[in-house]
Amino acid sequence: MSQKNLSSNSIQNHRVTWEGCSVLLDINDGDRLVFARLSPAAKLKIGNKNCSLQPLIGCPFGSLFQVENGPEGPYLSRFIPSAEGNKIEEKTDSETKVESRDNRALIDNNRAQSLTGEDIEAMRSQGARGDEIIEALIANSTTFEKKTSFSQEKYRVRKQKKYAPKVLLRRPVARSICEAYFKKYPARIGFLRVDTLSLLLSMANVSANSDVLVVDMIGGLLTGSVAERLGGAGYVCNTYQGDAPYSMDIVRIFNFSNEICKRIVRSPTSDLLSQKESSEQILQNEISMEETSLPSENGESNLDLENTNTAERVCTSGKAGEKASQDTMDMFKANGFSSLIIAAPEIDTWTLVNDLLPLLSNSAPFAIYHQYLQPLATCMHNLQVGKMAIGLQISEPWLREYQVLPSRTHPCMQMSAFGGYILSGTKTCST
């Protein structure tokens, strides 16, 4: 086997956090998801307490933290799980045996726990660790021993979430960002599910050295995901109707290097469609562009990056989404785009496709996302009638998660019933 290239040398593949880095904090196994930017002053509110994010700087992604009570209040401390398995592992034997306990003797009268709220607060102020509080709760529960081992485990997990919350440091990448938004604010990303996003990227053949045209009205998630796949080679051009570019705020959650940010450009559709203009006209256009784009840049919301210290934003993604330079525009016009992805719930699909398809190079694939079937069906029909594309297909992904446990494997009780529709196809040569 060849020995070359053994260490992965990605310009974006960070595995350790740094000051100014964007992170996704997963609190208590997905109960709460918070995007944050790490700085010594940044704080995270857990329960009713504020914890500094300073201890997270310089830690590997994937590390787990637990809230501990110190003399100066609660703080985040690195939690290293034991290398060899965990509680579930040790119990496998007993679990396969038939459970003899059941819940016939359990009565819901709210008297099972003899420890009061004041008792717990007193323990805390004396510096008791979360685990110690949980053990005390178990010791003082009159019903714990009568529970089945499954419900004992559930009890433990519930108390752990309350008294010893854990924070997992996740990498903000297309997958985690899409999943977090889908869970927290699905409307902001047009209800685009992660498997649907992955299909869009595949169907549009996104890879390094491609020039991808996108219509991204889902906050920049699409643009960012494409840029992630380009890895700094090729371009993603975010085009928009009218004068005001669509928001690309989500792009800044990715930890993109300047190299990658420079490859994220925007251009009004009219400019892409217009013939090559004289340089004077271009200059004028550029000036007016700057003016119109100002409000949207200033009015950016910081809602998603929950961070008390906004001034400290060492944003490496600052350059993302600048107007495409004339050279780049000329290149787009000369070569055509290598593919097209549309996620524009508010614009008529057929009108958009009819406008944009001529900008694609011959044999270029495209993928169009929509929450509703009809606009895609109409668009597909028109493309067929106009003989503009082949390999046309409307698909709807279906995703089901499973609980896998010894003797207790079944599909999860809750699932997302809908991830949207995709119209995909390949542009044919018109001549």
Partner 1 sequence: MLAIDSVKKISFNRCIGGGDLVIVYERHDNMKAVKVCEGSVLQNRFGVFKHSEWIGKPFGSKVFSNKGGFVYLLAPTPELWTLVLSHRTQILYIADISFVIMYLEIIPGCLVLESGTGSGSLTTSLARAVAPTGHVYTFDFHEQRAASARDDFETTGLSSLVTVGVRDIQGEGFPDEYSGLADAVFLDLPQPWLAIPSAAKMLKQDGTLCSFSPCVEQVQRSCETLRTNFTDIRTFEVLLRTYEVREGKMDSCQGVEGGSNESLPCKRRQCSDGSNVLSNSISPVVMARPCSEARGHTGYLTFARLKCLS
Binding residues among 378-397 for partner 1 as defined by CB under 8 A: 378, 380-381, 384, 390-397
Q: Does 83 bind partner 1 (CB under 8 A)?
A: yes
Least distance to partner 1, CB of residue 55, Å: 15
**Is position 406 an interface residue for partner 1 (rule: CB under 8 A)?**
yes
CA–CA–CA angle 337, 340, 344 (5° rounding): 140
d(CA 201, CA 198): 5
Burial class (CB in 10 A: 0-12, 13-18, 19+), 288: exposed
Residue 427 in the binding site for partner 1 (CB under 8 A) = yes
Q: Which of residues 38-77 bind partner 1 (CB under 8 A)?
A: 60-64
Cβ pair 398, 354 in contact under 8 A? no
Task: Out of 195, 306, 312, 322, name the contact with partner 1 by CB under 8 A.
Answer: 195
- DSSP 8-state secondary structure symbol assigned to residue 232: T
Q: In a 10 Å sphere around its CB, with 0-12 CB exposed, 13-18 middle and 19+ buried, how is residue 64 labelled?
A: middle
Residue 225 and residue 197 in contact, taking contact as beta carbons nearer than 8 Å: yes
DSSP state of 312: G
- The tokens describing 406, both together, are 């010894």
**Shortest distance (Å) from residue 54 CB to partner 1:** 19
Contact string (CB under 8 A) for partner 1, positions 325-364, x = contact: ---------xxx-x----------------------xxxx
Q: Is there a contact between 350 and 378 (Cβ–Cβ < 8 Å)?
A: yes
Residue carrying structure tokens 């579930």: 88
Question: Which of residues 244 and 399 has its CB atom nearest to partner 1 in the complex?
Answer: 399
Handedness of CA 202, 207, 213, 215 (dihedral sign): positive
Instruction: Name the segment binding partner 1 (CB under 8 A); options: 106-114, 267-275, 320-328, 420-428.
Output: 420-428
Q: In angstroms, what is the minimal distance from the CB of 345 to partner 1?
A: 18
In sequence order, the β-bridge partners of residue 18 are: none
Q: Which of 140, 198, 308, 371 binds partner 1 (CB under 8 A)?
A: 198
Q: How far is the CB of 141 from partner 1 (least distance, A)?
A: 27
Using CB under 8 A, count the residues that bind partner 1.
Answer: 92
374 belongs to the binding site for partner 1 (CB under 8 A): yes
Q: Does 398 bind partner 1 (CB under 8 A)?
A: yes
The residue among 116 and 403 lying less far from partner 1, judged by its C-beta, is 403
Contact set for partner 1, span 222-281 (CB under 8 A): 228-234
